[in-house]
Chain A
Amino acid sequence: EAAVTQSPRNKVAVTGGKVTLSCNQTNNHNNMYWYRQDTGHGLRLIHYSYGAGSTEKGDIPDGYKASRPSQENFSLILELATPSQTSVYFCASGDRLDSYEQYFGPGTRLTVL
C-alpha cells in the first residue's frame, strides 16, 4: 500500500519563528506536493516537485519555501511564520505511471501564535 507520512502532526509556532514541515513517501513517486487546507478554500497548492533537487511554485507560494533533497523526502519551510499561515498542511505524492492519482499524508495542523 502506498504510504505518505508527515511530521510533526501538530505544531505550535510563534510569529516570526522558523517552521519546517517534513514529508516522506515510500511510493517511489516522482512528484510530491504541499497543500494547505482552509475552510471555504479547499486544497490549495503551495509548492510541488518533479524529483530530487527540483521545486516548483504552486498557486500560493508566498511565504513558503520547499526542499526536495531526495526522491523520498519533501520539506515545506516557513522562514518567518505568520498567524495567517495557521492551517492544516497536507503532503501528497503522485506519478503519471500510477494513473495520475495523488496519495495524501495524514496532515499537519500548524498554529502560529
Chain B
Amino acid sequence: GDSVTQTEGLVTLTKGLPVMLNCTYQTTYSPFLFWYVQHLNEAPKLLLKSSTDNKRTEHQGFYATLHKSSSSFHLQKSSVQLSDSALYFCALSDITEGADRLTFGKGTQLIIQP
C-alpha cells in the first residue's frame, strides 16, 4: 500500500534561519502530494500541493518540488518566522485510484525560537 515518511519528528530553529522538512513516499500509481499545516488547537489546512514532476510550487513563503525520480516532496522556507511554529503533515493521494483518499505522514513539529 501507499506510505509517507517524514523523518523528523521535531525540528527546533531560531527565527530567520532556513528550514527543510523531509517527505518521501511510496506508491505504485501516479502521485499527488500535499503539505498540510496545523497550528495549535486548530484544524489542518492545506499549504501546498503538486502532481507535476520537477515543478516548484510556492505558498506563503514555503515551497516544495515533487521529484518522482526520488519519490520526494520536501518542504522548504528560506527564513522562518515565529508564526511558522506548527505541526506539518505530508500527504499522498493516488490520481490513478481516483485520489479519493489521503495517506498522511506522522507529522513534523516545527518550533521557532526568538
**What mask results when residues 74 to 107 of chain A are scored 1 for a CB within 8 Å of chain B, else 0?**
0000000000000000100010100111101111
**What mask results when residues 32 to 43 of chain B are scored 1 for a CB within 8 Å of chain A, else 0?**
101000000011
Chain B residues positioned under 8 Å from A42 (CB to CB): 89, 104-107
- B106 interface neighbour in A41, A58, A101, A106, Cβ under 8 Å: A41
Q: Number of A interface residues, CB 8 Å?
A: 22
- B44 interface neighbour in A44, A45, A104, Cβ under 8 Å: A104
Chain B residues positioned under 8 Å from A34 (CB to CB): none
- A102 interface neighbour in B9, B102, B107, Cβ under 8 Å: B102
- Which residues in window 14-63 of A have CB below 8 A to B? 31, 33, 40-45, 48, 50, 58
Chain A residues positioned under 8 Å from B45 (CB to CB): 104
Instruction: Confirm or deny: B46 has a beta carbon within 8 angstroms of a beta carbon on chain A.
Output: yes
Bound state CA distance, A88 and B50, in angstroms?
28
Instruction: Confirm or deny: B98 has a beta carbon within 8 angstroms of a beta carbon on chain A.
Output: yes
Bound state CA distance, A47 and B89, in angstroms?
20
Chain A residues positioned under 8 Å from B46 (CB to CB): 101-102
Beyond A101-B46, A106-B42, whether A31 also contacts B106 by CB under 8 A is: no
Chain B residues positioned under 8 Å from A102 (CB to CB): 46, 102
Say whether A90 contacts B99, CB under 8 Å.
no
Q: Quote the shortest CB–CB distance from A61 to chain B (angstroms).
A: 13
Chain B residues positioned under 8 Å from A33 (CB to CB): 101
- Which residues in window 25-58 of B have CB below 8 A to A? 32, 34, 42-46, 49
Instruction: Confirm or deny: B65 has a beta carbon within 8 angstroms of a beta carbon on chain A.
Output: no
Q: Quote the shortest CB–CB distance from B58 to chain A (angstroms).
A: 16
Residues of B within 8 A of A (CB): 9, 32, 34, 42-46, 49, 89, 93, 95, 98-102, 104-107
